[in-house]
Amino acid sequence: MKKLNHEDFDEKYVDTIEVNEIDKFVCREMIRQVHRYIKAMKGSKMVMDQFTAYIDSLDLEGKQKALAQYIDLNRKVLKGCDFKMVLARAIANYCDTFEYMHTMINNRGKMIYYLHRIKDTYVKFHEIFEENGKYGMRDHEGNILLHPIYDFLRTPYVYVDELMIMPVIAEKDGKMGLVRPDGKDTIVADFVYDDVSLRTEPPFFEARKGKMRGTLDRYGRFEEQTLNS
């Protein structure tokens, strides 16, 4: 007997209606996971309301994409996240009887199929790559987010309280700045700084230019720090 693989299962045994409904319930569970993360990071009710309002404004595909982007930036969301439990809760919400739920959960091929589907949907990490001694960034599909023209890149993995794209710390021609990973190498903060480092809270970046020190926000706005004498 031919061994059933992921593609065979998808082609021969998947019920489209079932898949669509499971996708919806899984999405709800992933939103719940993000809610837990925001609470753990001491996010405010306003933050939670903003997150909920934005997610609610999207269709299912939009929700999945936004959550994947958020998880890529806030990878600690997945700490303690058991995809089997996410799937089990989704199946429980989908099934109208315990017997039906029990049958689905004990169907090994179906569980493997859905677990792969969850990971393929929500775990989409970008990567830094090197080419000819320079560094760039590409997404999980290999699409260029930043071209390999930089001497140094650092993605700011910090807790953020909204679904947003953070600029990346970059070095070019001996100077530091901030660039947006949008495929266009959009400069957020000009390459005029001797050093840019990451902070764990807004405005997220510290910068130094000669004897001048200050902070940079995610829009590239510099604020000089006043040092006590």
Tens digit of pLDDT for each residue in 181-205?
989 999 999 999 999 998 877 888 9
What are the extents of the domains in the chain? 6-122, 127-224
- Hey, which residues does 172 pair with through a beta bridge? 175
- Hey, which residues does 187 pair with through a beta bridge? 179
Cis peptide before 181 (omega within 30 of 0): no
Asked whether the predicted pLDDT for residue 83 surpasses 90, the reply is yes
Name the pTM for this structure: 0.74
Q: Cα(26)–Cα(85) distance, rounded to whole angstroms?
A: 10
What is the chain's length? 229
Greater model confidence, 90 or 3: 90
Asked whether the predicted pLDDT for residue 158 surpasses 80, the reply is no
Structure confidence at residue 110 as a pLDDT band (50, 70, 90):
very high
Taking Cα atoms as reference points, which of 156, 204, 162, 216 lies closest to residue 181?
Answer: 156
What pLDDT score was predicted for residue 229? 41
What pLDDT score was predicted for residue 51? 81
